[in-house]
Structure 1
Amino acid sequence: ISKSATLKRAGEPFFRGTYNIGLRKGDDALKTQIDAAIDKIINDGTLEPILRKWGLWNDAQLELQNRAKPGAQDTDVAYDITSTSFNWREAIWRLTRAAFVTVLIAFGSMAIALTLGMPLAIGQWKGPRAVQWLCTIYVEFFRGTPVLVQLLFLYFGLPTIGLAMPGWLTALIGLGLNYAAYESQVYRAALEAIPRGQWEASYLLGMSPLLAFRRIILPQAFRIALPPMTNDFVSLFKDTSTAYAISVWELATAYRELANASGQFLMLGVAVSLYYLAMSLPMAHLARRLERKLQRREAIEAVEAEIN
C-alpha cells in the first residue's frame, strides 16, 4: 500500500487476524517439519528481511516472533478471537456509516418504485392492449425472479455491453425497478377499488377525465394504497441486505465482516437489529399518523357534504 498511488489505508487495525496452515489430522510428522522450518527462518534472521522488503514488518510481527521462541507461550493453543477486547467505538462508527448507505439506497429505490409504479398501474388498468401486455411482462418478470439475481445481472451483466455502474447505484436502481412492480399492483388494486359512480359523478360536474382522476380518484386511491405502501417500504429496508452480493458496504455487509473478524456475532447482531428497527419503525409510525389524518379529513368532508 505504501508504494501504491491509488491505494490508501482505511484506518488503524482494530483487530488482529492470523494465518494458519491446515494439515490432515494425525499428520504429526509434517507438522513438526513445518514448525521446524518456521522456527529456523525466525531464529536465523531470514524472515525479518523478507517481511521488511515487502513492507510487512511491524510490532505485531515482532510479537509473533517472540511468541515462537523457546519458552514463550505455546503457539499451538487455539486462538480464541472472542477473548480479545473488541473496539466497540470503531465498530459502531462503521455500522453507522453502513446504515447511512442503507438509508440512501432504501429512499432512492422507493422513489424510483413510487414514480415508475403509477405509470405501470395505469398502463395495466386502462392502457391499450399492447401497453397492458408490456406492463404485465415487466411486472411478472420482476416479481417472478429473485431480487438477488436481478442485482447480479445488473452489476456483472451490464458492464459486458459498456454500462458499468458503481455497486451502490446498481443496488439503488435494481431495488427500485423490482419494487416498482409491486407498487404498481398496489396502485392498480387501489384504483380498481374506487366505485365507478365516482367517475360518473365527476363527469356530471363537468370534469375532464384527467381532472377527475387527479382531484377525485387519486386522493381516494392514495388512502387505500398507503398501508401496503408502508409495508413495502419497511420490507425494502431489509431487502437492501442483498446488496452485499455486489460489494456494497451497507448494514448487513458491515455486520458480516465485523462479526467474522471479531467473533462477536451475538452482540453485533443485536446492534444491527436495533439499527434496522431505528430505520423502519419511524417510517411505519409516520405512515400511521398520515393515515389517521386522512381518515379524519375524509370524515369531516363527509359531514360537510351531509350538512350542505
Structure 2
Amino acid sequence: MHDWLQLMWESLPPLLYAGVVFTVPLTLLSFVLGLSLGFATALTRLFAPAPLVAVVRFYVWLIRGTPLLVQLFLIFYGLPKVGIVFDPFPAALIGFSLNVGAYTSEVIRAVIQSVPKGQWEAAYSIGMTWRQAMQRTILPQATRVAVPPLANTFISLIKDTSLAAVLTVPEIFQAAQRIASVTYEPLILYTETALIYLLFSSVLSWGQQKLEIHFGQHLTQEGARP
C-alpha cells in the first residue's frame, strides 16, 4: 500500500469519530435550535406588534450582514471580556443556531406569505381560530415550499461546522489539523477531510431529493382531487 493511502486509511477512524461525536450532533442541534428560532422570528415579523418586529428585524439584519466566523469569534473570544464565558461546543452551538435562525426566518416568512390570503379567509369562514388556521391550513402548504431551501441550509450548515475548529471544537476539520501537524501531510489530510464532507453532503442531497419527490407527489395528488 502506498504511503499516502496508508496514511488516509489510518486517519479515517479518528476523522469519522470526530464527525459522529462532534460534527453531526453540532449540525443537528444547531439546525433544530436555529429552525425553532427562525420560526419564532418569522411569526414575530408577520404578526407581532411593531416594537417586536423592529427587534427581530434588527437581529436578522445583524446576523445576515456579518460573517459567521466573526460571530463565532465574538461569542467565544469577545464575550469573556465582559464576563460571559462559554466552552467551545456551546459557543459554537450558539453561534450556528443564531446564524441558522436568521436565514431560516426569511425562508419561513416568505413561504407563509406565499400561501394565498384566500386560504386564511376559507379557514376563518369555517370557524377556525388563528392557531387552527396556521396548524391545519397554512403550515402544511408552506412546508412543501420550504423543504428545498431549508434542506439547502442544512447541507450548508454541516460544511460550515468546520469553522468550529477555530474555537477548538474537536470536529472533523480540527481532527485533521491535529493529525496534519504530526504527519506533516496537510494535502493528504485536508483532501481526505474534503471527501468526508463531500460524502455527508451527497447523502443529504439524496435525502433532499427524496423529500422533494415525496412532497411533490403529495401536492399533485391533492391537486388532482375533485
- The whole-number CA distance in structure 2 between the counterparts of 1:85 and 1:276 is 18
Where in structure 2 are the equivalents of 1:175-190 lying within 5 Å?
175-190=96-111
Please identify runs of 4+ aligned residues in structure 1 that moved more than 6 A. 83-86
Picking from 12, 17, 24, the partner of 1:92 is: 12
- Matching residue's letter, 1:103: V
**SS of alignment partner, residue 282 of structure 1:** helix
Structure 2 residue runs of 5 or longer lacking an equivalent are none
Quick one: distance in 2 between partners of 1:270 and 1:243?
Answer: 18
Shift of 1:96: 1.3
Structure 1 unaligned residues grouped into runs of 5+: 1-82
Q: In proportion to residue count, which structure has more helix? A: 2
Instruction: Determine if contact 1:86/1:262 at 8 Å carries over to the other structure.
Output: no
Task: Report which of the two structures shows the higher radius of gyration computed on alpha carbons.
Answer: 1
CA distance in 2, matches of 1:294, 1:171: 33
User: Does 1:293 find its partner at 2:214?
Assistant: yes
Q: Deviations over 1:106-158 (max 9, x none)?
A: 11110111111001001111211111100100101111111111111111233
| TM-score when normalising by structure 2 | 0.91
Of the three residues 259, 264, 268, the one matched with 2:189 is 268
List per-residue Cα deviations over 1:78-115 (Å, max 9, x = no partner): xxxxx899654542222112212111111111011111
Indicate whether 1:248 and 2:152 are aligned.
Answer: no
Indicate the residue corresponding to 1:103 in structure 2: 24
Q: In structure 2, how many angstroms separate the alpha carbons of the residues matched to 1:198 and 1:283?
A: 33
- SS of residue matched to 2:86: coil
Q: Which moved more, 1:260-269 or 1:149-158?
A: 260-269
Size of the aligned set, in residue pairs, is 223
Q: Which has the higher contact order (CA 8 A, sep 6+)?
A: 2
- For the aligned residue pairs, the C-alpha RMSD in angstroms reads 2.0
The superposition leaves residues 1-40 of structure 1 with CA deviations (integer Å, 9 ceiling, x where unpaired) of xxxxxxxxxxxxxxxxxxxxxxxxxxxxxxxxxxxxxxxx
In structure 2, do the counterparts of structure 1 residues 142 and 203 end up closer, same or farther at CA, with 3 Å as the change threshold? same
* Cα distance change of structure 1 residues 144 and 92 upon mapping to structure 2, 3 Å threshold: same
